[in-house]
Amino acid sequence: MYCNHCGGALNPEAQICSACGERVLPGPRMAQARDGASMAVVVRGRVQRHIGLLSALWLANGILRLLEVCSFTFIGHMLFPRV
């Protein structure tokens, strides 16, 4: 288990990170629903935030590349109309 704030290694029973002093949030635990079924409680950590940011950057990169191809196609047809 690693700290969401500094990335330092933690003991499984730790409540405070020994490297940065940040309070450690409990990991995913199983909670009991009213009907007796169990459901997972997920804490959004550092890795999940980074994956979300990375996906947004990839989406922006794809859109910019699509605009680039469209603009080159349009300019190419204007400069070389017979090709």
> How do residues 25-70 score in pLDDT, each as one tens digit?
665 544 445 555 544 444 567 788 899 999 999 999 999 999 999 9
The per-residue pLDDT for 16 is 85
Domain ranges of the chain: 1-43, 45-83
| Cβ–Cβ under 8 Å, residues 49 and 57 | no
Q: Over the stretch 6-20, which tens digit does the pLDDT of each residue have?
A: 878 888 787 888 888
Residue 82 has pLDDT above 90, yes or no: no
The per-residue pLDDT for 47 is 83
Q: Give the Å distances, CA to CA, from 31 to 25, 48, 58, 62, 81.
A: 16, 21, 35, 40, 66
The per-residue pLDDT for 63 is 98
